[in-house]
Amino acid sequence: MTANISLILLKRRCYTHKFTPGPDPDFPYLGEKAFFSFPDSEKWDDDIIAVGGNLSPGMLLSAYEQGIFPWYNPEDPVIWQSPDPRCVIFSGKLHISASMRKIINTGVFEITFDRDFTGVIRGCAETKRRGQGGGTWITADIIEAYTELHRLGWAHSAEASQDGQLAGGCYGVLMGKAFFGESMFSRKSNASKAAFLSLAEKLFKNGLAFVDCQVPTPHLASLGGEEMPRKDFLELLKVYNISRKSAII
């Protein structure tokens, strides 16, 4: 089902519409099978692709199929972004250092998958990060939306626990042969890295083609992340037929 509705599309330079923070309460709820068409990628001239709408399952899944994800501050409306360049880790390129391999293999952390999605996403929300002024982009609306995606089988988490307590983890969206990483957190040194590397290694063994890490950073580069132009990333989605119709690995 394709949603016959329109989204107010504004670039960074022309915020002329008055928005309220967060999802638009008047925007229609799109169920898991609904499809929303964002602007054609040939018209993109910014990381920000669109503004407005909501975080319903159909909206989120449509965004990932088109190389877009929500990323905004609590005081903003929903902002849909597609960074250029993009950061990707390909199958066979994941780098696990000797020290991290030892941490994973010796059981410093108990690694589990999808055992505590709520704990992981809340842990990510509570983590203070440089450049965010002590705040977080993972709002209550984001938590609710991705928890629903988890319930539907699209969003997944990896947990690193120590002495029965959640020490770190990561979460993202799995669609076909792509995993779209969203966030990670640590309460103990190396916990998030152990969770992410264990999840990525497991997915690659199961046939995953790549992990989308969104924005390039030196940390992601150390794990095997590669920069690529956005247009190449969008082509990658086509090559691997990344959509809700793809078989989930």
Q: Which tens digit of pLDDT belongs to each residue from 155-166?
A: 999 999 999 999
pLDDT band for 4, please (50, 70, 90 cuts).
Answer: very low
Task: Identify the pLDDT of residue 83.
Answer: 97
Question: Would you identify the CATH topology of the domain 86-239?
Answer: Aminopeptidase (3.40.630)
Residue whose token pair is 């915020």: 15
What does the pLDDT average to over 96-113? 98
How buried is residue 178: exposed, middle or buried, by Cβ count under 10 Å (0-12/13-18/19+)?
Answer: buried
Any bridge partners for residue 81, and if so which?
48, 69
pLDDT for 2 beyond 90: no
Give start-end residues of each CATH 3.40.630.70 domain in the chain. Answer: 86-239
What does the pLDDT average to over 18-38? 94
pLDDT band for 15, please (50, 70, 90 cuts).
Answer: very low
Q: Where are the beta strands (DSSP E) in the chain?
A: 48-51, 69-70, 79-81, 86-90, 110-113, 155-162, 165-175, 178-186, 210-214, 226-228
Task: Identify the pLDDT of residue 127.
Answer: 86
Q: How far apart are CA 91 and CA 68, in angstroms?
A: 22
Q: Is the peptide bond before 85 cis (omega within 30 degrees of 0)?
A: yes
What does the pLDDT average to over 87-103? 98
pLDDT for 14 beyond 80: no
Task: Identify the pLDDT of residue 136.
Answer: 74
Task: Identify the pLDDT of residue 216.
Answer: 95
Q: Which of 168, 155, 142, 165 is nearest to 55 (CA)?
A: 142
What does the pLDDT average to over 164-188? 98
Contact of 95 with 85, CB cutoff 8 Å: no
What does the pLDDT average to over 194-219? 97
What does the pLDDT average to over 200-228? 97
> Under 8 Å CB-to-CB from 9, ≥6 apart: which residues?
39, 49, 50, 51, 52
Give start-end residues of each CATH 3.30.70.3550 domain in the chain. Answer: 1-82
Q: How far is CA 9 from the centre of its chain?
A: 22
- What mean pLDDT value characterizes the chain? 91
Question: Would you identify the CATH topology of the domain 1-82?
Answer: Alpha-Beta Plaits (3.30.70)
The token duo for 129 is 């990060």
Contact of 76 with 21, CB cutoff 8 Å: yes
Task: Identify the pLDDT of residue 133.
Answer: 47
Task: Identify the pLDDT of residue 246.
Answer: 83
Q: How many CB atoms lie within 10 A of CB 136?
A: 17
Q: How far apart are CA 45 and CA 84, in angstroms?
A: 10
pLDDT for 85 beyond 70: yes
The token duo for 168 is 């770190």
pTM: 0.92
Please name the amino acid found at residue 64.
Y
Task: Identify the pLDDT of residue 180.
Answer: 98
3-state secondary structure at position 126: helix
What does the pLDDT average to over 95-110? 98
Residue 98 gets which letter from DSSP? H
pLDDT band for 13, please (50, 70, 90 cuts).
Answer: very low
